Amino acid sequence: MSTGGFGRAVWKVKVDAGEIRRMKKKELALEVIERLKKEYPDAACSLDYDEAWKLLVSVRLAAQCTDARVNIVVEKLYERFPDVAALAEAPVEEIEKIVHPCGLGNSKARDISACMKMLQEEHGGRVPDDFDALLKLPGVGRKSANLIMGDVFGKPAIVTDTHCIRLCNRIGLVDNIKEPKKVEMALWKIIPPKEGSDFCHRLVWHGREVCTARTKPYCDKCCLQDICGKKL
């Protein structure tokens, strides 16, 4: 405290610069959320599934593979092995033959087999609605666990796939952070929990249609062009 003119006490408030940056990012995040809502009102997960365990399978197959291809491949997989019990008992070699078009066939087949076995043996064939329990399943990382929590169980989730990481850096919601978990932790601080899951789906759609990675982004068509960090 110091004394100003006329004997008044003047308090010097120390403002944390990091907190100011977070406040600005929160404001930016809310604006991005609202604009993407208008642009993609019906955005949802592009992996086809009608049961929780099928989303677990699909998200594992989607690593380094397009969702469109995964949706085709799993049709054949479920014709042969229609439930958790059947897939848990299936020889890894048989699973691999079917999922081979998705790439990394042996690794993915082993993870799917082990995951279904654990679901059958430890969870009665049901997918747990607990984040930590999901992480214990073979082949399930934070991205997959968040996707299940948000899409299947309607709980707060931040799914940091490649589109999310790339766009959040480009827009300016995170600052040159590429590690998925660090991006997730940074977004939890600025994205309202109820918005997280849908927001991440909308980033995927925006990344595919406008803010593309393999071609020059279509900035002239972007609903975020005037607030995007890359353009400022």
Q: Where are the domains of the chain?
A: 21-43+158-221, 52-152
The tens-digit pLDDT sequence of the chain (232 residues) is 444 443 444 333 444 666 657 769 999 999 999 999 999 999 899 999 999 999 999 999 999 999 999 999 999 999 999 999 999 999 999 999 999 999 999 999 999 999 999 999 999 999 999 999 999 999 999 999 999 999 999 999 999 999 999 999 999 999 999 999 999 999 999 999 999 999 999 999 999 999 999 899 999 999 999 999 886 5
Structure tokens at 152: 């299947």
Given 111, 151, 161, 198, which residue is catalytic?
Answer: 161
Q: Coil, strand or helix: which one is 10?
A: strand
21-43+158-221, CATH topology level? Endonuclease Iii, domain 2 (1.10.1670)
Catalytic, 129? Answer: no
How many Cα atoms within 13 Å fall on the side-chain side of residue 160?
A: 20
Given 25, 54, 108, 143, which residue is catalytic?
Answer: 143
Structure tokens at 91: 């020889």
Residues, the chain: 232
Sign, Cα dihedral of 212, 214, 218, 224: positive
Sign, Cα dihedral of 147, 153, 158, 163: positive
Catalytic, 143? Answer: yes
What is the pLDDT, as a whole number, of residue 230?
83
Contact partners, residue 58, CB within 8 Å, separation at least 6: 47, 48, 49, 67, 70, 71, 74
52-152, CATH topology level? Endonuclease III; domain 1 (1.10.340)
Rg (CA), the chain: 22
CA distance to 40, 60, 95, 110, per residue, from 91 (Å):
41, 18, 7, 9
Q: Coil, strand or helix: which one is 3?
A: strand
What is the pLDDT, as a whole number, of residue 17?
61
Comparing 21-43+158-221 with 52-152, is the CATH topology the same? no
Strands (E), the chain: 2-3, 9-10
